[in-house]
Amino acid sequence: MKPKFLFPYWTRYLGWVLVFAHIPVMMIGKYYGLDDHHSNSDALFNNGHLLFIGTALLMAIGLFLVAFSRERIEDEQIAQLRLDSLRWAVFINYIVLIICLIFFNDTHHILLMNLWVPLLFFIIRFQWMLFRNNRLIKKDGQL
């Protein structure tokens, strides 16, 4: 079965580079005081807003590449794990989104959370399920 709509395996590494590049860019921006996006609310593209857009895009594109890159061996079991993990990620995202909309007023942080939580949870759950399956396969092979 040829998986459709998945990036090549190597894009996972590019994604991790983008995710980790987000951290120094954000720290440099905070050091130079560029993270205050509320200081000049008249200008749409002030320095704080551009820093926010840049760091959010680095993180989002990086997580997207990591989440949707092929595995070395892509079979039906991997596809089922991917689908199940995606379903759980959507469930968790909506639960977190509903809780945040009820209890918090800061839409800026709710946007960031809604942008990253599904991808982060998908990556974590998918990798955990792959680890568990590989461990079970190794355990069954040793018996």
Domain shared by 110 and 87, yes or no:
yes
pLDDT digits (tens, 9 = 90+) for 16-52: 999 999 888 888 887 777 666 555 555 667 777 788 8
Task: Give the position of tokens 């200081």.
Answer: 39
Q: Are residues 50 and 81 in the same domain?
A: no
Q: Which domain holds residue 9?
A: 1-71
pLDDT in tens, 44-79: 677 777 888 888 899 999 999 999 999 988 889 999
Q: State whether 112 and 135 are in the same domain.
A: yes
Same structural domain for residues 57 and 92?
A: no
Note whether 30 and 94 are same-domain residues.
no
| Residues 2 and 65 both lie in one domain | yes
User: What size, in residues, is the chain?
Assistant: 143
Q: Looking at the whole model, is its pTM more than 0.75?
A: yes
User: Tell me, what's the pLDDT at 111?
Assistant: 78
